[in-house]
Amino acid sequence: MTLKRRTAILISGRGSNMTALIAAAKAADFPASIALVASNKADAPGLARAAGEGIATATVVSRNFGADREAFERQLHATLQRHAIEIVCLAGFMRILTPWFVGQWTGRMINIHPALLPKYPGLHTHERALESGDDEHGATVHFVVPETDAGPAIAQGTVKIEPGDTPDALAARVLGVEHVIFPAALRALAAGDVTMTGDSCFDRDGRPWHPIRVAQ
C-alpha cells in the first residue's frame, strides 16, 4: 500500500488548484493525502468545496492579528501540527510568510506561482509577460524559501502566447497548466523523488533535479 504523506493546502480564495490536488490525491497510488485545507480568510470559496469533499478545514483569520505576522503564523503552525501535517502546499495563499514560518517547513512547503520563475515574481504576471512581448509564459511550482517567489523549481508548465492575447485569456490557459503541474510536483515531493538542500533540488540519487516540464 502506498504510504500517504499528510498534506495541508493553504488557500485564500477560489481554490481551483486545491481542487486539482484533491482530485489527484484520490488515486490509490498517490503518495499524499489531503488532510487539511486551511485559509486566512473565512469567506474563501475553496473552504466550502473542501468541506464538501469531507476534508477537514480550518480558518485562521490573518486580519485579526493586524501587523503581527508571527502571531498569525504561530496559530497557523499550531493548527498544522494538530492535524499532524507533513507537507504544506500554498495554493493561492495571499500572505507573505516570515522567515520563522518558512524555517519551520523548509523542504516541506511548496508554492505555485503563475509565471516561469525566475521571470516575474510578484503580482500581475500575465500583464507583465504580455507587455514584455514574450512568446511563452506559464507557471512554476517551487520549494518555499524566505525570499518571496524564489526557491528551486520542482515543475514548470508553459503555454504559448497567442497574438491578441489578453491577460484574462492568458491567465485561463496558465491556470489549466497549473492544475497539471501542482499535482505532479506534490507527487514528486511526497514520494521522496525530489528534495531541497540549501537552495537546490536533488533527485533521490543526489543528482541535480531537472524540473518536470509540461507544455500545453
The yes-or-no answer on residue 142 being catalytic is no
Residue with Cβ nearer ligand GRF (5 or 113): 113
How far are the Cα atoms of 65, 158, 190 from residue 44, in angstroms, in the given order? 18, 28, 26
Q: Which of 12-20, 64-72, 79-87, 101-109 is the region at the interface with ligand GRF (rule: CB under 6 A)?
A: 12-20
- Nearest residue to 120 (alpha-carbon basis) of 106, 131, 111: 131
Cα 66 to Cα 18, 40, 63, 100, 162: the distances in Å are 27, 12, 5, 17, 42
The answer to whether residue 139 forms part of the interface with ligand GRF (CB under 6 A) is: yes
Of 2-10, 11-19, 73-81, 202-210, which segment contacts ligand GRF by CB under 6 A?
Answer: 11-19
* Residue from 7, 16, 156, 158 in contact with ligand GRF (CB under 6 A): 16
C-alpha–C-alpha distance, residues 132 and 8, integer Å:
36
CA distance 210 to 216: 19
Q: Which of 102, 112, 129, 181 binds ligand GRF (CB under 6 A)?
A: 112
State the residues that interact with ligand GRF by CB under 6 A: 11, 13-18, 91-92, 112-114, 139, 175, 178
Instruction: Give catalytic residue positions.
Output: 113
